[in-house]
Amino acid sequence: MASVNQMGEGNLPSVTDLFSLKGKTAICTGGTGGLGLSMAIALAEAGANIVSIQIKDDPRASMLAEAVKECGRELKVFEADVADSPSLRACFAKIWDAGVVPDILLNCAGINRRAKVEDFTDENIDAVFSINLKASFVAAQEFGKKLLELKRPGKIINIASIISFIGNINIAAYACTKGGVLQMTKAMSNEWASKGINVNCICPGYIKTAMTKVYTDDAEYTKYIIDRTPAGRWGLPEDFRGVVIFLASKASDFVCGTSIVVDGGILAK
């Protein structure tokens, strides 16, 4: 049942309506990846139609398509190499030309490369920076520009990391980009919160995905992660379903420029 808020300004939405995404459209980068797929499906289950920006012949495309269909939602696919900024901007132009009206951006494309600091090549530095940081910036910029043009509120959900806060070793390029995503989130929010555009980010801990397979297959390292994590286990992609719905829905309308850490308690230890 709806209730009167503390300011006496009328009826509040029910809790069910507060978290509903019915009638919304979510644009996703990285929506076929480990974390991205789980979160994109969650958005569809909550009521959103999905627009997926993905590479040509993405091997996991069918998984997203089947899941969205099962939810009874619409899926539109646009192909782009997010590492190529002109290609990504052109992709957004095609999305707008197709009549898509934006509500939510899930900015989830990301990669990692591992090496000692002194051994990182330009190729690997450029790959990590172009996808993790610049593509995230460009996608948020293009999405935000459209919302401003339409005078429309919206939600931008970036994906940072606990490595935004701790440096770790052998992932210096990744650490730089994820620190950048955290600061990008704050800076964009400062400019857009007054326009009704909520910019926030999720900071995953150690999660079982294809990106972390080199670690999850290592029994010694797995023991290290479990011992380090108060929750006593690796995180799973499904652990992000609730937080992405919160940040995409009306439930987070006064949450601006912040990060939500989903790490089983590592940063608190």
Q: Which residue numbers are catalytic?
A: 174
Give me the amino acid identity at 212. T
| Other CB atoms within 10 Å distance of the CB of residue 6 | 7
Give φ, ψ of 33 to 5 degrees.
-80, -175
Q: Residue 23: what residue type?
A: G
Sheet of 75-79: strand order equals 75-79, 49-54, 25-29, 104-107, 154-159, 197-204, 259-262
Q: What is the distance between the alpha carbons of residues 73 and 37, in angstroms, rounded to a whole number? A: 15
Residue 265, phi-psi category: left (phi > 0), alpha (psi -120 to 50), beta (remainder)? left
Q: How far apart are CA 103 and CA 197, in angstroms?
A: 9
Q: How far does Cα 3 stand from its chain's mean position?
A: 32
236 neighbors 263 (Cβ within 8 angstroms): no
**Cα–Cα–Cα angle for 31, 65, 74, nearest 5°?**
95
CA distance 231 to 218: 19
